[in-house]
Amino acid sequence: MFYVLCFMIVDNESIECICDPDLMPAFDRSSCADYKGKPVFVNQRGNWICAGETRVLSAKSFKSQASLSHRKRSRSVGEIVFVGLGLHDELGMSLRGLDEVKNADTVFLELYTSLLPGFSLERFEKLSGRMVNPVSRRELEEDNGQVILKIAENHKTVLLVPGDPLIATTHVTLRIEAEKKGIKTRVVHGASVLSAVIGLSGLHNYKFGKSVTIPFPDETPSETPYSVIAQNKKLELHTLCLLDIQTEQRRYLSIHDALMELLRVEAKRKKMIITEGTLVVGIARAGSSDPTVKAGFARELLNIDFGEPPGSLIFPGKLHFMEAEALRVLAGAPEGLRTVSK
């Protein structure tokens, strides 16, 4: 016989519960808990109903690790540990991050700020031995992460994040809010697209200027990426362009469409910043075992199939001779690139 430790929020209060499998109803044996001495079941709408009572409790359940003991785990000071998942699949997380997951009371996961093409929640739960609670954009942004903060007040909570956990401002905001509430926070960093893309290109990281995201043109047409590239070029610096994604809608801006949008802005502004003869580096699936890296003129990259997302673009500034050689050897840039080397 084993009992399952779980957490509930009842009337805005975090309650730690012990689930007795023998009391679980046949239709859902994972949703029984004890509240005020009575078994509690979850109905089809996800509301908690106390047995013997007709009122619906204001509550939400979270999956947690099974315990071999029926004794309640002692409550400790809560904390949130932000753990980076890396760039491609469940194997990209560090060993330290995995250890934090295994020792957490509750584990949350967000996958909307970036794309992990090879990630499998089922494989991750098997690898870590833990059950994971996905959270949505609405829960993190519109609800200000309250679903996480409430649990973290009294329990060790892990939030799994694609890439490095503090690159997205959403997670920085959550960390600030936690600290204001007296909730301890820690960070286990992960591989970031910012370093991976630059590394794959062979360009020197200290020669990059401001980075920018190219949005979907049909939703938020913007000339900001064009302006950022122009500013960096004036300073002879490289520009990293991240391409917009909407993971919840499975929508990803392609390298082709991003280039076409920049050329559209060029046709309007006519500053010769991005033309069909501009040198560009396109990179897809950085962090995977099969990334695509190609350097060439914009007109050439428009005809290249970069495969599956996510993708990024780099617009080089003035090149050091080692950078020019790296683009030729590592990214297939034209031999004539020597003539524009520093």
Distances in Å between the alpha carbon of 262 and those of 113, 227, 328? 23, 10, 24
Give the mean pLDDT of 255-280. 95
The CATH number that applies at residue 220 is: 3.30.950.10
Last residue of a domain, one of 21, 45, 67: 67
d(CA 85, CA 95): 11
Does residue 174 sit within a domain?
Answer: yes
Q: Which residues contact 291 (CB under 8 A, 6 or more apart)?
A: 200, 283, 284, 285
Last residue of a domain, one of 157, 191, 225: 191
Query: Residues 131, 227: one domain?
Result: no
pLDDT band at 3 (very low <50, low <70, confident <90, very high): very low
pLDDT band at 54 (very low <50, low <70, confident <90, very high): very low
Distances in Å between the alpha carbon of 132 and those of 101, 156, 201, 322? 9, 14, 35, 45
Length of the chain in residues, anyone?
342
Does residue 74 sit within a domain?
Answer: no
DSSP readout, 89-121? SGGGS-HHHHHHHHT-SEEEE--SSS--TT--H
Query: Residues 59, 92: one domain?
Result: no
pLDDT band at 25 (very low <50, low <70, confident <90, very high): very low
Task: Look up residue 74 and give its DSSP letter.
Answer: P
Query: Residues 202, 179: one domain?
Result: no
Query: Residues 299, 235: one domain?
Result: yes
Does residue 73 sit within a domain?
Answer: no
Which pLDDT does position 180 carry in this prediction? 93
Residue 161, number of CB atoms within 10 A of its CB: 26
Which pLDDT does position 253 carry in this prediction? 94
The CATH number that applies at residue 140 is: 3.40.1010.10
Query: Residues 315, 200: one domain?
Result: yes
Min mean pLDDT across 67-76, 119-128, 268-277 is at 67-76
Min mean pLDDT across 63-72, 120-129, 145-154, 292-301 is at 63-72
d(CA 20, CA 39): 8
Pick the closest to residue 228 from 246, 214, 207 (CA basis): 214
Half-sphere exposure of 245 (CA within 13 A, CB side): 18
Does residue 72 sit within a domain?
Answer: no
Domain that holds residue 36: 3-67
Three-class SS of residue 134? strand
- Number of domains the chain is built from: 3
pLDDT band at 46 (very low <50, low <70, confident <90, very high): very low
Query: Residues 312, 289: one domain?
Result: yes
Per-residue pLDDT tens over the stretch 157-178: 999 999 999 888 889 999 999 9
d(CA 124, CA 132): 9
Query: Residues 332, 210: one domain?
Result: yes
Give the mean pLDDT of 255-270. 96
Query: Residues 260, 333: one domain?
Result: yes
Query: Residues 208, 315: one domain?
Result: yes
Query: Residues 214, 177: one domain?
Result: no
d(CA 245, CA 308): 13
Which pLDDT does position 21 carry in this prediction? 42
Query: Residues 91, 181: one domain?
Result: yes
Per-residue pLDDT tens over the stretch 207-221: 999 999 999 988 667
The torsion angles phi and psi of 81, rounded to 5 degrees, stand at -110, 115
Three-class SS of residue 145? coil
Query: Residues 202, 95: one domain?
Result: no
Give the mean pLDDT of 239-246. 94
d(CA 16, CA 14): 7
pTM: 0.74
Does residue 221 sit within a domain?
Answer: yes
Which pLDDT does position 293 carry in this prediction? 97
Cis peptide before 217 (omega within 30 of 0): no
Does residue 209 sit within a domain?
Answer: yes
Which pLDDT does position 338 carry in this prediction? 61
- Matching residue, tokens 């995977």: 288
Give the mean pLDDT of 188-199. 93
Residue 249 has pLDDT above 50, yes or no: yes
Does residue 118 sit within a domain?
Answer: yes
CA angle 177, 182, 184 (to 5 degrees): 85
Which pLDDT does position 340 carry in this prediction? 52
Last residue of a domain, one of 36, 67, 98: 67
Strands 156-161 and 106-109, sheet pairing: parallel
Handedness of CA 333, 201, 111, 141 (dihedral sign): negative
Give the mean pLDDT of 334-341. 66
d(CA 254, CA 101): 34
Give the mean pLDDT of 255-276. 95
Residue 248 has pLDDT above 80, yes or no: no
Residue 62 has pLDDT above 60, yes or no: no
Tokens of 141: 């942004």
Per-residue pLDDT tens over the stretch 80-118: 999 999 999 899 999 999 999 999 999 999 988 888 888
Tokens of 226: 């064009």
Kind and range of the H or E element at 189?
A: none
Tokens of 80: 């949130």
